[in-house]
Structure 1
């Protein structure tokens, strides 16, 4: 009887060791990237290829394309933040004022702020309208150097976005003497330089352009 009790005790100890050993190996494989911080939430465990994130993978090269123009100007205006509203009330990724919004057919500020697609449509419409307003100036001055700045279509459109097409006309007509600066003291000449040589040929001049979803 005593021998049987000892055998049972040994078997129990062995079983306990085996179970604890398996438990330890399982725990050692855990990692914070595979678990949720919320207790009880079902965590998704990614495959190896999903964890291997290459920062150079699947990132399109936009360069001086229209998309590049949108991204670069949007970053300059608001760091690309669709929800941005500055102290003067300018809104969205491209910092539209009320008059610019109305000009492209938008009267609901809340809808505009909550729709990245509408903001992109509004920017496209604004480019199209500014192209129409400035079409004769673009034809006449494109490629010229005024006050050390080479004039390009995209540079003029960017400057019009900052200070309005009228102030771009004044700059060109005055041969660089009349330089408008916005409320942050940013001159339109800076945008003429920074956003020169982008390809905006995909956007046609249209004075009736409107932003619609």
Structure 2
């Protein structure tokens, strides 16, 4: 199995693990850096103001996120354009492009060639993918763009957004809730997850509270509707 197929397999395994927590997105970023031979990964989730919430950066400069939030977001003409395209897009700037955002933000942080993905149907909690290469790696090619499009579309199918569920469960709560949908007993869940009964009951109470479910059956029904595709 070549590296690309191996990384694709690891990517699918990650997406099947559970919800798009910040930890999952950081792990996703590292996989995408390896898969696309990129140097910097950045991802935001959308909220009512646009694609600027819950930032994650992998391999970026120490001040990457803070500098963007404090100043460069206000002069960023690129992100709104890419967001409106609602697909994967390669980014290459003309050599003479010297505006503040490109020169002072991107190039000073060695981000010369980009490839960004924004979902076709953005909504609160939807995730974007922003990859950047240093000048020595060269620009992304057409095959890279098609590959990222497939990856992004898969993410949208396997990771429901906050707009669809409105509720965030922890990784452990997801595992418990999935087992509820299988009709497993407390004893079976504890054995499968190597978990004490008291711990399981704590997770169940949290799931019932978050989902406003009065029973195991109701929680299983909610989870099945929210996370089945």
Both structures adopt the same fold (TM-score exceeding 0.5): no
TM range (shorter): under 0.3
Larger radius of gyration: 1
The structure with more strand, counted as a fraction of residues: 2
